[in-house]
Amino acid sequence: MASSPITMMKMKLNNCSPPSTAAAAQFLPLLGPHQIRFRSFLAPHHNPSFPRTIITRPTFSSSSIITAAMASEASVKVIDGKKVAKDVRDEINAEITRMKDSIGVVPGLAVILVGDRKDSATYVRNKKKACEAAGIKSYEVCLPENSTEEEVLKYISDFNDDPMVHGILVQLPLPSHMDEEKILHAVCIEKDVDGFHPLNIGQLAMRGREPLFVPCTPKGCIELLHRYNVEIKGKKAVVIGRSNIVGMPAALLLQREDATVSIVHSRTRNPEEITRQADIIIAAVGKPNMVRGSWIKPGAVIIDVGINPVEDATSPRGYRLVGDVCYEEAIKVASAITPVPGGVGPMTIAMLLSNTLLSAKRINNFK
How far is it, in rounded angstroms, from Cα 222 to Cα 285? 17
- In 325-366, the DSSP E strands lie at 336-337
The 10 Å Cβ neighbour count of residue 312 is: 15
Confirm if 161 and 108 have CB atoms less than 8 A apart. Answer: no
Confirm whether 255 is a catalytic residue. Answer: no
Out of 35, 80, 127, 332, pick the active-site residue. Answer: 127
Rounded Cα distance, 353 and 136, in Å: 8
- CA dihedral over 6, 305, 283, 314, signed as positive or negative: negative
Distance of alpha carbon 130 from alpha carbon 137, whole angstroms = 10
Which member of 80, 194, 304, 324 is catalytic?
A: 194
Neighbours of 125 (CB within 10 A): 13
The pairing of beta strand 301-304 with beta strand 167-170: unpaired
Active-site residue, 194 included: yes
Kindly list the distances between the CA atom of residue 232 and the CA atoms of 73, 188, 275, in Å, as whole numbers in the listed order: 23, 33, 16
User: Which residues lie closer than 8 Å to 57 by C-beta, 6 or more apart?
Assistant: 64, 297, 298, 299
Q: Which of 35, 171, 203, 255 is catalytic?
A: 171
Residues recognised as catalytic: 127, 171, 194
